[in-house]
Amino acid sequence: MPPFLRFVISRFLAIPVTLLVVTMTLFAFVLLTPAEARATLYYPSRFGPGMTEKRLDELNERIQLEHHMDDPFLVQYAYWLKDLLRGDWGYSPVLDEEVLPALLRRTPVTAEILLYSLLLYVPLGILAGVVAGWNKNRRVDRNFRITAFVSSAIPTFILALILMDVFYVILYWFPPDRLGLDTNMLVNSEGWRSFTGLYTLDGLLNGKPEVTLDAFRHLVLPVITVSLFYWATLGRITRATVIEETRKEYILAARARGVGQRALMWGHTFRNTLTPALTNTALSVAWLFTGVYIVEAIYNFRGLSEVGIRGVSNIPDAPSILGFTIYSVLLVSLTMFALDVLQAIFDPRLREGVTQ
């Protein structure tokens, strides 16, 4: 087996392990609660009209029996996992729908913000870090350091509030929500076909560029809000790697041979600096998702966070919160996996299976 494939497979196999650990931990917490409460996880989506207190108690007891709620931890866990794998994630009374379809339907919303944020901040962060690192202590570097410091110091929600006030309340350039009123009607009309769920792409595929434009207009603020913080972090890490790299002897040797600055910057050292940058991005993905959820909540994008955040109310909605948690972990693992593969493509040591 080629080493690249082996690397990819080993990383892919880490996903089920992660999920197993996470679901076990979650379920251990769930088991702390009394069985009567846990039975609500399996409540039907509709109750008949004649539901009395007595019949409800019977239903609750029946569910407790049917779902083996007196058995030891691992047995209960196995039954619960089986339901999860079958796609039976329970019914959410707050959202008034099944949890798994609710999550799947909202995924493109989150994916759209995430995708454009990554596309914006990863290249910009690496570029800024490389330029600043090669010009250490010059004016470019100082400017970068100040900008990065300020942008990572402003909390997401304060930035979001300021941006929204300036660009929506005062200027009315970039309104909140995912689409404007007209385009939203167009998207919900008969002739609209959903290919990817991302309105920016679907607009083009449906031959309705105005939808794409409108979707981009609404994405500007969320994407900037998410990107600014992560841009700064990524830039700083790249800068530190570049500075370390420039002190190495092969740079001196290349300089002695008359290799130009530009060739050194982008030809000789660039790939070496990509690895730590991507590792860092992969590691911070969980925080990135957290950032996406906050931005969704503030800019009123009805994405995945809606499932989790609306679940926190006085109506007990354990299925939606459990579903949100497991689904988030799945998404984070997949994004981490994608970045790991990208890293292996850039780093020949990983690709060829050389241990570091």
Task: State yes or no: residue 225 binds other proteins (CB under 8 A).
Answer: no
CA quadruple 340, 346, 350, 351: dihedral positive or negative? Answer: positive
Question: Which residue lies nearer to other proteins by CB, 26 or 265?
Answer: 26
Question: Which residue lies nearer to other proteins by CB, 14 or 205?
Answer: 14
**Phi and psi torsions of 169, nearest 5°:** -65, -45
Burial class (CB in 10 A: 0-12, 13-18, 19+), 114: buried
Kindly provide the b/e burial profile for residues 44-63, where b requires at least 16 CB atoms within 10 angstroms of the residue's own CB.
eeeeeeeeeeeeeeebbeeb
Task: State yes or no: residue 309 binds other proteins (CB under 8 A).
Answer: yes
Provide, rounded to whole angstroms, the least separation between the CB of residue 354 and other proteins. Answer: 19
What are the structure tokens assigned to 225, written together? 């809000």
Which member of 122, 237, 318, 339 binds other proteins (CB under 8 A)? 318
Burial class (CB in 10 A: 0-12, 13-18, 19+), 249: exposed
Task: Tell me how crowded residue 321 is: count the other CB atoms within 10 A of its CB.
Answer: 20
Task: State yes or no: residue 332 binds other proteins (CB under 8 A).
Answer: yes
The alpha carbon of residue 244 and the mean position of all alpha carbons in its chain are separated, in whole angstroms, by: 31
* Cα within 13 Å of Cα(230), Cβ side: 29
* Residues 43-102, interacting with other proteins (CB under 8 A): 43, 47, 51, 53, 56-57, 60, 93
Provide, rounded to whole angstroms, the least separation between the CB of residue 240 and other proteins. Answer: 5
Provide, rounded to whole angstroms, the least separation between the CB of residue 263 and other proteins. Answer: 24
Crossing angle of helices 270-283 and 285-299, in 10° steps, is 60
Task: State yes or no: residue 148 binds other proteins (CB under 8 A).
Answer: no
Q: Do the beta carbons of residue 196 and residue 215 sit within 8 Å? A: no
Task: State yes or no: residue 240 binds other proteins (CB under 8 A).
Answer: yes
Which member of 13, 78, 119, 166 binds other proteins (CB under 8 A)? 166
* Secondary structure percentages of the chain, helix, strand, coil, to 5: 75, 0, 25
Question: Which residue lies nearer to other proteins by CB, 76 or 328?
Answer: 328
Binding segment toward other proteins, per CB under 8 A, in 189-197, 259-267, 287-295, 342-350: 287-295
Which member of 109, 232, 237, 321 binds other proteins (CB under 8 A)? 321
Interacting residues toward other proteins by CB under 8 A? 14, 17-18, 21-22, 26, 29-30, 32-34, 36-37, 40, 43, 47, 51, 53, 56-57, 60, 93, 149, 152-158, 161-162, 164-166, 168-170, 240, 243-244, 283, 285-287, 289-290, 293-294, 297-298, 305, 308-309, 311-312, 314-318, 321-322, 324-325, 328-329, 332-333, 336
